[in-house]
Amino acid sequence: MNLSSRKFIVGIIFLVVGIIFIIRLFNVQVLDDKYKSESDHNVLREVIQYPARGLIYDRTGELLVYNEAAYDLMILPKQVKELDTLALCELLEIGKKDFLEKFTKAKKYSRYKPSTFLKEISSVSYANIQEQLYRYPGFFVQTRTLRKYPRKSAAHILGYIGEVNQSVIEERPYYKSGDYIGKSGLEYSYEEMLRGTRGVKRILVDVHNREKGSYRDGAKDTMAVTGTVLHTTLDIVLQEYGELLMKGKKGSIVAIEPKTGEILSLVSAPYYDPNMLVGRAVGKNYPVLSKDTLNPLFNRALMAKYPPGSIFKTVQAMIGLQEGVISENSSFACNKSLVGCHNHPTASSVAASVKMSCNPYYYNVYKRILQQKRAKSIFKDSELGLAIWSKQVKKFGFGQRLATDLPNIKAGYVPDVGFYNRWYGEGRWAFSTIYSLSIGQGEMGVIPLQMANLSAIIANRGYYRVPHFVKNIEGIDTIPQKFKEKHSIDIDEKYINTVIDGMYGVVYEPGGTARRARVHDDVVVCGKTGTAQNPHGEDHSVFMAFAPRDNPQIAIAVYVENAGGGGSWAAPIAGLMIEQYLTDSISTRNKKREEYILKNNYKIPPPY
């Protein structure tokens, strides 16, 4: 081989090697950011600035939810050098096995990006850790806040927050691993307002993991924006009193300001301290609560579907009057061969029928509503009547999800023609098949919020606003429009007043079923008891009421499971709630009733 050939071959070799180096450098410097990332993390650390979530207040300005400082220990695996594992485990108060699992998980996530190693360290523990952290390169602390509930009440209303899962991260680009989100209650419903906006702080660190100051004097930092403050309609004193009265019981209380639809109290019993689902305690307490046979996580006020029982007779009376099938003075004998009833005189008017809660009376009313001889066939006639009836019942907010500002609300159920055609077959059912609906039993199902809303409708003489918890959102001029709109039931006020006359008699007249709902003489209570049949055990005690009779300030529904008649337990609990709200105290006359209820033995009716 001559000299020129050898030079050519050597030149080719150098050219190839040069091209390889150029490609490699291009890949390292442009395409692969691993080395740049490693270099940056040797001198620059990005620390997320978590915003404080918005505070939550009750209607009087009482603080219900605030934020408490907590700290997350972060890890950047690439920077972790040889360390004394046992000493670090002792410092962090964790076992070696737990340490190794967390370290492996962090490395799998990324060797070059920081991730959370230990969450929600308390202020006391953080003080000890901070002093020793410089000994452990690759570890640093990031500040966040945790929710605190000073009144230890209203857990089903306020809700709780928890860490986002992968599905949330994929669906909502704002959230990243380690972020927290409202999981239930108002924390969930107003998440985007309450959460605020996170920021980022860039800090220079040396090879020993010690902070040396802000990068470019903070020019590249972004500030966290605190979440919006939420003022609720809740009266926390009334809420706490309701929880006290329902201690040891199963059921619910819902109280509403009729004119506005503002929810004053919403008690679901059993309940729990909302602080149980904060921070690291969630992992321990949530499984305990979820496995509890009494199901304290279940919000009975919004999710439990019950037969309304005799409180539904007020609806039947109003529809019957509006349809013209009865008059204010219609009288029906208490014929127990039609449907069972307690002993009482014949109801000679609608008001008397409400007062005495006569079952045969409403058997006849419902029969007249359904069978008005619109068709020759009794089956077709009942079908036409039921279509009119179910449409009118739904105007009261039944059979639909009231658009309140808490999640997971149920619709209850109002049976219609389609339902019975599917169940029995078309043309194979009539009034005699479904007469149990006349007294609020059968396939009818309502939730306690709808019961309280019914009371508000009657108090308002024919309309309601959707029950809600938002009273004011700081920085926003108005609450959502849906909470301002009036929903009319299209019943003449004179017919509603007839029912109110009967509800007055329930509490104050001889033969009434709710004398235990009376408060002091200056407050007139109008109410209706109910005994909801329970095929699985003792019947449920139901009562709804509003007060005062003129210019009502509160409408309420109480549902006590397995407690018998409505006048036994639900009525006195409602009376005490009304008195507490309107007078800020319980009168001497009613103290004995209060003391008896607090004993929790609700198999025996209160003697007072």
Structural domain for 169, as ranges: 45-232
Residues 293 and 261 placed together within one structural domain of the fold: yes
Q: How far is C-alpha 571 from the chain's CA centre?
A: 25
Q: Between residues 440 and 563, which one has the greater pLDDT?
A: 440
Residue 15 lies in a domain: no
**Any idea what DSSP says for residue 257?**
E
Q: What is the per-residue pLDDT for 37?
A: 46
Q: In the structure, what pLDDT confidence band is assigned to residue 384 with cuts at 50, 70 and 90?
A: very high
Instruction: Mark out the alpha helices in 371-524 (DSSP H runs).
Output: 378-394, 417-424, 431-434, 448-459, 493-508
Residues 311 and 543: beta-carbon distance below 8 Å:
yes
Name the least confident of 22-26, 249-253, 472-476: 22-26
Residues 261 and 311 placed together within one structural domain of the fold: yes
Q: What is the per-residue pLDDT for 451?
A: 97
Residue 31 lies in a domain: no
**End position of a domain, from candidates 200, 232, 264:** 232
Residues 412 and 538 placed together within one structural domain of the fold: yes
Residues 579 and 458 placed together within one structural domain of the fold: yes
Q: What is the per-residue pLDDT for 31?
A: 56
331-342: average pLDDT: 90
Residue 13 CB: number of other CB atoms within 10 A? 10
Residues 554 and 449 placed together within one structural domain of the fold: yes
Q: Between residues 220 and 154, which one has the greater pLDDT?
A: 154
pLDDT digits (tens, 9 = 90+) for 151-193: 999 999 999 998 898 899 989 989 887 788 999 999 999 999 9
Residue 25 lies in a domain: no
Residues 566 and 520 placed together within one structural domain of the fold: yes
Residue 549 sits in a domain whose CATH number is 3.40.710.10
End-to-end CA distance of the chain: 122
pLDDT at 25 over 70: no
Q: Where are the beta strands (DSSP E) in 413-553?
A: 463-464, 470-473, 487-488, 526-532, 540-547
| Nearest-angstrom CA–CA distance, 197 and 226 | 7
Residues 501 and 557 placed together within one structural domain of the fold: yes
128-132: average pLDDT: 85
Residue 437 lies in a domain: yes
Residues 82 and 169 placed together within one structural domain of the fold: yes
Residue 395 lies in a domain: yes
Q: What is the mean pLDDT of the chain?
A: 88
Per DSSP bridges, beta strands 230-232 and 56-57 are: parallel
Q: How far is C-alpha 361 from the chain's CA centre?
A: 38
| Nearest-angstrom CA–CA distance, 320 and 499 | 11
Query: What's the per-residue H, E or C state across 20-84?
Result: HHHHHHHHHHHHCCHHHHHHHHHHEEEEEECCCCCCEECCCCCEEEEEEEEEEEEECHHHCCCCC
pLDDT at 376 over 80: yes
pLDDT digits (tens, 9 = 90+) for 261-288: 999 999 999 999 999 998 878 888 999 9
Residue 222 lies in a domain: yes
Q: Between residues 9 and 558, which one has the greater pLDDT?
A: 558
Residues 485 and 399 placed together within one structural domain of the fold: yes
Q: What is the per-residue pLDDT for 446?
A: 96
Residues 92 and 73: beta-carbon distance below 8 Å:
yes
pLDDT digits (tens, 9 = 90+) for 58-109: 999 999 999 988 888 988 888 888 888 888 898 888 898 999 999 999 988 8
Q: What is the per-residue pLDDT for 10?
A: 66
Residues 306 and 368 placed together within one structural domain of the fold: yes
Residue 585 CB: number of other CB atoms within 10 A? 11
Amino acid code (one letter) for 180: Y
Count of domains for the chain: 2
**End position of a domain, from candidates 211, 232, 253:** 232
Residue 201 lies in a domain: yes
pLDDT at 466 over 90: yes
Residues 214 and 264 placed together within one structural domain of the fold: no
**End position of a domain, from candidates 232, 260, 294:** 232
Residue 569 lies in a domain: yes
Residues 104 and 192 placed together within one structural domain of the fold: yes
CA geometry: angle 350, 354, 360, nearest 5 deg: 80
Which of 30-34, 145-149, 482-486 tops mean pLDDT?
Answer: 482-486
Residue 166 sits in a domain whose CATH number is 3.90.1310.10
Q: What is the per-residue pLDDT for 58?
A: 97
- Provide the percentage of residues in the chain whose pLDDT is more than 70: 91
